[in-house]
A = this chain, B = another copy of it.
Amino acid sequence: MRVRLEDVARATGVSPKTVSRVLNEESSVKDSTRQRVLAAMESMNYRPSPSARGLAGSRSFLVAMLYDNNNNPASTYLAEIQDGVLDACDAHRYSMMACPLRMRGQDFIRRVDALVSDHHIDGVIVTPPLTDYPALLKRLQEHGVPHASISPLHREGTIGVCMDEQQAAKALVTHLIELGHRRIAHIVGIANHGASRWRLAGYKEALATAGLPNDPDYVVQGEFTFGSGVMAARQLFALPVCPTAIFAANDDMAAGVMWAANERGLKVPRDLSVCGFDDTPLATQLWPPLTTVRQPSREMGKLAALQLMEKLRGRGTGLLVQVPYSLELRESTSVAP
């Protein structure tokens, strides 16, 4: 029926343990033996049983991707990350489970415990904003489960992937300044999210570098949603002196700004330049297309998973790798009126 490790052993004329060693890429196997075993595995189409491996051993070859179910970033972002993680899993014969976590209350603790003790999860991919929930990270550490983070706020001792978002935001705002804008507003994302902090910092840095004043009226709080972008924009439009450009901390809010501009009869980019961050599909589907910063989300998911596996396989400790951003200059920004 099913081809077992023992069958491979018999066919090769070695002990089951040796086959196990080959399977687990242990070094203490003579090369010729390894080749024979691998050949037999291949020809017999042997596939190890994850259940048996999980039961007998300490590893499950399962990783979990954790995401916040309340405070969700755009679902397209998560979907891309997930695809990237799956790419990496595929390549290294790991399987992935998707695990939305409701972070209200202590429910998530039980969920994490269940994951770890039930499924023997080998490691975890943590997506924003979970990357900076101390209670979660602490629990993972208590279980001794390694994790890789995507765009973590606190980077010391963390493995995974990040992008220089502050630099990207600065470049974007600098572009606005070069277009002649002097009254540039910023809509901040959810407070304490790394993304919000970096993008705000980049905005301030660009203004400071250009010697422009940092008018507190021009910094409005949002919460990464389309609706909050609309509200924030209305607030800015109500100011005695309107900004000529608005940098929203993500594309959804930027879309909200453009919506509010339409509502008010402002023509983008003639009367108002707008830009966002993330380069979601939405960015090119708006009219006019949105100037934004491209994040290679899928690649980031893949890289984070690779770092995790690097650590799991004990080949190294894993790194925090940095991916490049790119400015997508489109029609929603132009010279200041």
Contacts and interface: CB of A to CB of B under 8 A. Distances in A.
Nearest to A60: B51
Interface stretch (A77-85, A151-159, A171-179, A300-308): A77-85
A180 interface: no
A224 to B, nearest CB: 12
Nearest to A263: B287
Contacts of A86: 98-100
Interface stretch (A27-35, A237-245, A277-285): A277-285
A252 B53 CA distance: 45
A117 B285 contact: no
Contacts of A256: 285
Interface string A213-251: 000000000000010000000000000000000000000
A69 B287 CA distance: 28
B96 A47 contact: no
A78 B285 CA distance: 19
Contacts of A76: 75-76, 79
A212 B132 CA distance: 59
Interface string A58-91: 0010000000010000011011101100100000
Specify how many copies of this chain sit in the oligomer: 2
Given A285-B252, A285-B255, A287-B259, A55 B49 contact: yes
Nearest to A1: B117
Interface in A1-52: 2, 47-52
Interface string A90-114: 0000011111100000000000001
A119 B96 CA distance: 12
Contacts of A252: 285
B55 A52 contact: yes
A128 to B, nearest CB: 16
A262 interface: yes
A226 B114 contact: no
Contacts of A258: 287
B49 A118 contact: yes
Contact of A96 (B97, B117, B118): B97
A296 interface: no
Nearest to A284: B226
Interface of A: 2, 47-55, 60, 69, 75-76, 78-80, 82-83, 86, 95-100, 114, 117-120, 226, 252, 255-256, 258-259, 262-263, 281-282, 284-288
18 contacts: A50-B51, A51-B51, A51-B54, A51-B55, A52-B55, A69-B83, A75-B79, A86-B99, A86-B100, A97-B97, A97-B98, A226-B285, A258-B287, A259-B285, A262-B287, A263-B287, A282-B282, A286-B286
